[in-house]
Structure 1
């Protein structure tokens, strides 16, 4: 069967062609009409605010792209690398978004696209600008590789540590949820509800529902943080995405008051995300999409609990619950029926320390990437306008 490699809008993100799709010729989409070459620059005209703009490298030479792209090919007096950097600038993006038409399928038409302008310095200057910006891009790409390597390491460690433990001691068959596993003999399995009854978990609560749920117009620019599931990332809470309530409105709520050190679990929509709350604020409120777990540190280490929530042992239980319903959620009452795997406390701490060190490496590299991205934006502002 004859096939070809196809690149559509979804295949491209900011500055990168992520992948192409192998498609039988007889099933070719109606938009598959443009052959691209190394050195071209793809500019997504559909929903340009997504910045589906990217250079075509050797890997994608000769492939076919959607007519949703404008394909820019550099003439002799123009640097193709400069074009790529220029279309990624805010100056170019603002022009594209201002020329969008349509609501359900916003796009820039051909005639309007031809009126979009780029600055055109002398060729030698174009090359120098492209070299500077491309150098930063390479540093960002290298940082991304380090981050992905560290994430792969963590995934491997979680699988290994939650199958064999620290000492890889004698294993025995145990049931976790509906599945059988071979786990260290010194480990125990209890339901979360039992862990609450036995005071391993001293508090377990979700956010306010019904009439207690804050209305949109009740949120303010500053005050008491109000957390939601989309704020959990990399085991931490991203407070830059927080909403806020006034202290007076917060005091009217009945439940959902989280504390520093609580383990947060997303149980609705983005089910399975988790993080440890790090805060020095007197009051922090979780929304209806989150549950907090407060640990008795003498019996259950909070970093261990978060790591367990990230493991396949727990995530598969969440999938099982969601598979029994059309709703993408695991309510707090169902959570209490889920199994919790408990190594001895000292081993919990060792497991948590190993994984926390990898998390810190990932966070360090993420901070580095953020600084490089800020540097790139500053350089683009200075060099391309």
Structure 2
């Protein structure tokens, strides 16, 4: 290994126990300031840790390892179901419901059922940009707003909801409405065009300028159909092809989003497609919730086991 990597050689400590301690210790307290912040061998070597007897170390490591195994298995299930969802979306969003369509046609976005249309998003929806943090928008009200970090692929993560000070005019302009389809402006390539449907669970709630809000015309386009298409292979390809790209980063603007071409079946068929994909999405959401719970359990166990707050019977 080179001099940018540091190894900890266990002395009177079980390797697995040392590993879990290292993941819980705040290394930021040891950082040396400078043009390139770093930690050195002396600082790490002088870090204090509570060291129970070897048998207890083994038991603590075994407990935490069992939780890690459960986390890994749950993540594996999520990954597998994501593959199923991807295949299902590819089939339903390009060929429609199984057995319904006999004739297909070639279009600018690929083959679709002959009875479907191809439309630009701006023809069946209204695209709104979000609020930017600046003095012009500042006011007396402090309201929650969605950032790119909140908008995940198929769901909205509200665990960390930040606030912004705004004036009354900004509230009316940037407030989200239930049924708005959220699309991220960009960032890492995997975040480009990522989106979900806002359910109105927090009200009022605004959206920042890196998150677009799309209000669909209810008689033409269902919000979840648009959201699923945006995250499909065809949708992602459009966003990547249209994006302004720099090293590891990509972004789209509101004009490019408005020009997104989407396949448009009847509203009834859209609803049927949504129902099938949503069954798989619900399974993913449940598994993600279970994963979050396991992660919380692990953090709680580490906080009491590695500090001696909770003692365990040693492993021989």
Q: Secondary structure at the match of 1:145?
A: helix
CA–CA distance in structure 1, aligned partners of residues 119 and 245 of structure 2: 22
Sort the Cα spacing of 1:158 and 1:100 in 2 relative to 1 into closer, same or farther, 3 A. same
Matching residue of 2:253: 331
Q: Does 1:379 pair with 2:308?
A: no
Query: Superposition pairs for residues 125-274 of structure 1, below 5 Å?
Result: 125-168=56-99, 169-176=101-108, 179=109, 181-195=110-124, 201=125, 203-208=126-131, 214-215=134-135, 218=138, 223-246=142-165, 249-252=167-170, 255-269=173-187, 270-274=191-195
CA–CA distance in structure 2, aligned partners of residues 339 and 237 of structure 1: 24
CA–CA distance in structure 2, aligned partners of residues 244 and 157 of structure 1: 37
CA–CA distance in structure 2, aligned partners of residues 281 and 141 of structure 1: 32
Matching residue of 1:19: none
Sort the Cα spacing of 1:109 and 1:330 in 2 relative to 1 into closer, same or farther, 3 A. closer
Matching residue of 1:357: 279
Q: Secondary structure at the match of 1:69?
A: coil
CA–CA distance in structure 1, aligned partners of residues 278 and 170 of structure 2: 37
Q: Secondary structure at the match of 1:382?
A: helix
Q: Does 1:80 pair with 2:9?
A: no
CA contact (8 A) 1:229 1:266 kept: yes
CA–CA distance in structure 2, aligned partners of residues 236 and 152 of structure 1: 17
TM-score in terms of structure 1 length: 0.70
CA–CA distance in structure 2, aligned partners of residues 324 and 225 of structure 1: 30
Sort the Cα spacing of 1:108 and 1:217 in 2 relative to 1 into closer, same or farther, 3 A. farther
Q: Secondary structure at the match of 1:167?
A: coil
Q: 1:292 aligns with which of 189, 213, 223?
A: 213
Question: C-alpha displacement at 1:99, in angstroms?
Answer: 1.7
Question: C-alpha displacement at 1:382, in angstroms?
Answer: 1.4
CA–CA distance in structure 2, aligned partners of residues 319 and 137 of structure 1: 35
CA–CA distance in structure 2, aligned partners of residues 325 and 119 of structure 1: 46
CA contact (8 A) 1:164 1:171 kept: no
* Higher normalized contact order (CA 8 Å, seq sep 6+, divided by chain length): 2
Matching residue of 1:310: 231
Matching residue of 1:108: 39
Structure 2: gaps (5+ residues): 308-316
Q: Secondary structure at the match of 2:7?
A: strand
Matching residue of 1:370: 292
Q: Does 1:67 pair with 2:12?
A: no
Question: C-alpha displacement at 1:219, in angstroms?
Answer: 8.3
CA–CA distance in structure 1, aligned partners of residues 168 and 23 of structure 2: 42
Matching residue of 1:10: none
Greater percentage in strand:
1
Matching residue of 2:262: 340
Sort the Cα spacing of 1:253 and 1:223 in 2 relative to 1 into closer, same or farther, 3 A. closer
CA–CA distance in structure 2, aligned partners of residues 262 and 251 of structure 1: 20
Q: Secondary structure at the match of 1:238?
A: coil
| Deviating more after overlay: 143-152 vs 100-109 | 100-109
Question: C-alpha displacement at 1:87, in angstroms?
Answer: 1.6
CA–CA distance in structure 2, aligned partners of residues 309 and 100 of structure 1: 42
Q: Secondary structure at the match of 2:268?
A: helix
CA–CA distance in structure 2, aligned partners of residues 325 and 108 of structure 1: 31
CA contact (8 A) 1:224 1:250 kept: no
TM-score in terms of structure 2 length: 0.84
Q: Does 1:320 pair with 2:220?
A: no
1:116-154 per-residue CA deviation (whole Å, 9 max, x = no partner) reads 233222111111111111111111111111111111221
